[in-house]
Amino acid sequence: GQQLNQSPQSMFIQEGEDVSMNCTSSSIFNTWLWYKQDPGEGPVLLIALYKAGELTSNGRLTAQFGITRKDSFLNISASIPSDVGIYFCAGQPSGSARQLTFGSGTQLTVLP
């Protein structure tokens, strides 16, 4: 099946710093999504990307759909304590079923 490699696995940053994480796939996706998961909760959608090369922002978050359609990047600027959590990339292929394949997650810790 499709595999998503997400890196880094974990990050420790100071409050106010910027952070980047990325995801690569062995297969092409038509949609890339980035989710955040807080402890004891399900993933919540942050950003959705639909076209190769697309750059989309949501507040301090910016994500890009790689031009090869096999990768995506998420940047968080000026981190704050509430950014703590696990960030997942997810890819969605074309086709009738269109299930999401998730990466293994990036655990973000923001130090005061």
Partner 1 sequence: EAGVAQSPRYKIIEKRQSVAFWCNPISGHATLYWYQQILGQGPKLLIQFQNNGVVDDSQLPKDRFSAERLKGVDSTLKIQPAKLEDSAVYLCASSFTGTGEGYTFGSGTRLTVV
Q: Applying CB under 8 A, which residues contact partner 1?
A: 1, 4, 6, 31, 33, 40-45, 48, 88, 90, 92, 96-105
Torsion of Cα atoms, 57 then 61 then 65 then 66, to 10°: 130
Whole-angstrom distance, CA of residue 37 vs CA of residue 31: 19
Amino acid at 40: G
Phi-psi region of 12 (alpha: psi -120 to 50; beta: other; left: phi over 0): beta
Pick between residue 82 and residue 96 the one whose CB is nearest to partner 1.
Answer: 96
- Say whether 90 sits in a helix, a strand or coil: strand
Pick between residue 40 and residue 112 the one whose CB is nearest to partner 1.
Answer: 40
Pick between residue 59 and residue 97 the one whose CB is nearest to partner 1.
Answer: 97
Q: How far is the CB of 89 from partner 1 (least distance, A)?
A: 8
Pick between residue 13 and residue 48 the one whose CB is nearest to partner 1.
Answer: 48
Closest CA to 25 of 56, 88, 68: 68
Q: How far is the CB of 105 from partner 1 (least distance, A)?
A: 5
Q: How far is the CB of 1 from partner 1 (least distance, A)?
A: 8
